[in-house]
Chains A and B, each alone.
Chain A
Amino acid sequence: MILYTMMPHDLIFPTDENDYGKQLTVTYDGIPLMVEKTENAEYRVIRVLSSDPNHFLHQKYAPGSKISF
């Protein structure tokens, strides 16, 4: 389907409200992380939000790894 319109994409296909709730920002072990909830009560790391370069070297909190609270 091709839409010939100047309307912005997100106005035509609005995002599901629930999608906004999936991601959250947490501080885990002193490292600010952006996480996404997975099915089995775990959280997957999406992004490390810290400004400290050392925090990016932690294998445990690398994006994609799972953490649980």
Chain B
Amino acid sequence: MTAFRIGGGGRGGGALGRVVRSGVGRRRVQTLVIAVATMMAVASAVVAGSLIVAANRPFDHAFAQQHGAQLTVQFDPERASEAQLRSTADESGVTASAGPYPATTVQPVDSAGGHLPALTLVGRSAPAADVDDLDLKSGRWATKPGEVVLDAEFAGPALELGSTLKTSDAADSPTLTIVGFALSVSRTAEAWTTPAQARALASAGTSLTPLTNQMLYRFDEADTDGQLIAARERLAAAVPSGALLSSRSYLEVKRDADQGAAPTIPFLIAFGVLGIVMSVIIVSSVTSGAVGSSLRRIGVLKAIGFTPREVVRAYVAQSLIPAAVGIGLGVVLGNLLAVPLLDDTEQAYSTTSLTVAWWVDVAVPAAALLVVGLAALVPALRAGRLSTVEAIAVGRAPRPGRGQWAHRAAGRLPLPRAVTYGLASPFAHPVRTVAMLLAVAFGTIAATFAVGLTASLTAVSAAADPEERAAVTVFGGGGEVQAGPGVPRPTEGGTKEGPEGGPTEGDSEPQAADPARVRAAIEAQPGTAAYYAMTRDDVSVAGVSGVVQASFYQGDMGSTGGYEMLAGHWLDGAGQVVVGSGYLDRTGTEIGDTVRVTYLGDTRTLRIVGEAFDTSDGGVRLHANIADFPGAEPRMFLVEVEEGVAPVEYAQKLAAVLRPLGGDAMANAPSGQDNFVLVLQSMAALLTLMLVSVAGMGVLNSVVLDTRERVHDLGVCKALGMSPRQTVSLVLASVTGIGVLGGLIGVPTGFALHGVVLPLMGHAAGTDLPPSVLNVYTPWQLPLLALAGLTIALLGALLPATWAARTRTATALRTE
């Protein structure tokens, strides 16, 4: 007779292996659910981890990856030869250099006649270099004359590979074909051609600036402005006097980039932490539930001679097999899901290609295996310690006594019996119920937070650009003031949204329309409801170094909507100024203080009467009355039309009157959302979908375990006449309470999370946020969001409920 050897290790691994394999194979549904739930949880953790990594000093990482230029210097080719420039690489402190590259500035015009902003164009024979190793995002490098590579920020429907650009307005200006899009983290240029092409453009007179030579440097010490200034001085001394024309420190670029990226960091960390916590909850509850539901089988194994240690090993292994498959698939899925999210993050940060960090792909599965192992070990050890009889008895059904009071109480409810029976069921498994509750609550938190975040971002977009709310914008010409919100700006494709033939940014329209005649034309135009005038220019402010952007207003902004006020009030009289939060922070001033502002030779002392929600120019822009500065003339008029008047027709008619005067009018497109806002909103939507799916999988797993355990009881109920519909309602009712409670916990928590994260995002962007951005939840939204918890629970339970209803009664009755 052949001895049946049970023991593990070398002497009986076969028996143990068979037990593990049969355990995995026998419960296919549960095995599948464990694998899928683990997969979703791990995918979520990979994405969450990647986002947290991406949010960690994105500029620094991208800068290091590209060997960014710490100092970008323009030299005069007439004063310093290329050989002299190359020799600067040997100066003390220089650790790497690139160049000289011929450089100039052009203002290209696209095929539709739209003007791009002035671009620094550099001639480089390849994207790769020791310094400023460019990231070619799409297409290829320019290899022959007539080709150009543009900054990737310009890529879009209007400007794509193969599109052509003229280098200026001049009829004979050269045409360049876009062959690639690239990104320089150091912002050394926005367009690249071959060196010969760059020289040709500069010498043909179609560029805005004469030819210069660009050199890029890295130094052994470049952490502070002082170190970079010293390095610049050493370079200036190394070339003939006056040869060094200008320079730009990477610290300036970094400050801009960090300011842009900072608002996203609390948002990404919030979602990242939610994703990771939820993954741990789901993986541990799935695993421990699977082992806990196998107690009877454990008892049987012990009865036939397995030792407690072998039982523990068998069940830990049994959990690890589907979990390991799920973890592997989860890593793959997580990497796939991370691609669009990291693409979005790249856009938000204007940074180089972000990929899932290798160590995230290692750490997440390792942590998941650890969580699975521990979650399986605890119930397996408990099972191993139970006596054989106890294990069989305990494993036969939920422990008698648990939840009986709930059944008594639920039985009194005036609801169908199947529903009341289901409502009381969760109390038989308190730990599993708590895990399910946490999954639902976390899913609801994510949904609530995402809804609030999306609404807040929409509100930020609307509040930040009050000029864009006007139905029609009228340009007075003159070409010096149209920078900033409300003025035609580069579209997604980088071109300008200017009226056909009208003045746009950078146009050097010499002739400005007479503001009085423009005003008269607007007032005479039928359909005009209200309007105000403005101009924007640089001013000097006592105590503030450099220039400060200022907007000057004339007329009533009330009808078209002004800036949201954080404190104080909008301009309502002479001698007043409104500032952004950044100005107050930078100057240490507060509302009520005075500011000495000089514009076109006129100096006025203005009193700060309000703090506006204005993040443009780092929040340091001033808003004042035109009347306070005699030299200021309105250049732009923001018009609100009467109800029923089509803005486009109104603008066309008004433009016909204004063009002979040197002005123009255009209808504002329905407020499109800021690209950055759209990126954040799509990220929030994707992350929420993922977290809600993980929550649903957690519920699905728990309900599968529950219905499997109760299949015999369900069979009894069906034998007594419970219909399939009643069976479905019983199972769904078993998660209803959890769904409702999860919603009730999740909504206020998500609400609170929104209340914490949004101000953090605002502070990171250097501003407080107005109530319109913070108080975004409407009274009807919160109860609806609470229903999200119920929806997650019901959707998660639907599949096992259907399965329970379809199970043959005779089969269910035979199930032990």
Instruction: Note whether A and B form a binding pair.
Output: no
Measuring CB to CB, which residues of chain A are less than 8 angstroms from any residue of chain B? Answer: none
Interface residues of chain B, those whose CB is within 8 Å of chain A, are none
